[in-house]
Amino acid sequence: MNIAILGSGRGSNAEAILAAQAAGQLGRARVAAIFCDIPGARILALGPRFGVPAFQPDSGPFKTKFPPEIETVWANAIRAAGGDFIVLAGFMRVVKAPLLDAFAGRIINLHPSLLPAFAGLDGIGQAWRYGVKVAGCTVHYVNAEVDGGAIIDQAVVRREDADTPESFAEKIHAAEHRLLPDVIRRLSLAE
């Protein structure tokens, strides 16, 4: 299982995956490349640090989606880099047909809520504002519906009375960093 990690920001989940790989904890999976849609994003610096190629292809004029022709370019670039499985880790664009078709059943996403609750943007903030006592994160397959693919696994985080929005988010991010590499390991061993 040759993974292409797609991210848009600081890359903390990508770093967790790469650290798990360095520690021999990804099963038969290996990270083939990192792709980022934001120039200068911190995730791009992880490539050289972990000996993995990092790319920032043209993303087109929109901030939350790709034009179909650009998404086709990304699909081709991922294949050219050796990727045959995509992990969306903090990737802030909606994935459509060109990538979904090219990697059918081979794209997973990490979402910071217990789906189906609080889908879409700012899952942690949505959960905080709603006042839930239990939140967490979900790894799911990607399909045409935003955060609507089949759930693979979830990690639960309890909201304590002493939590602030920041401490609550930190606990969910820590759960993400454990869950995502573990799901990748299990999926690689099932192939």
Catalytic annotation, residues:
111
Q: DSSP code of 89?
A: S
Report helix, strand or coil for 76: helix
Q: Are 88 and 108 in contact (CB under 8 A)?
A: yes
Q: Which helix (H) or strand (E) holds 181?
A: helix 165-190
In one letter, which amino acid is 23? Answer: A
Dump the DSSP string for 111-125: ESS-TTTT-SS-HHH
Residue written as token pair 């081709």: 76
CA 27 to chain centre: 18
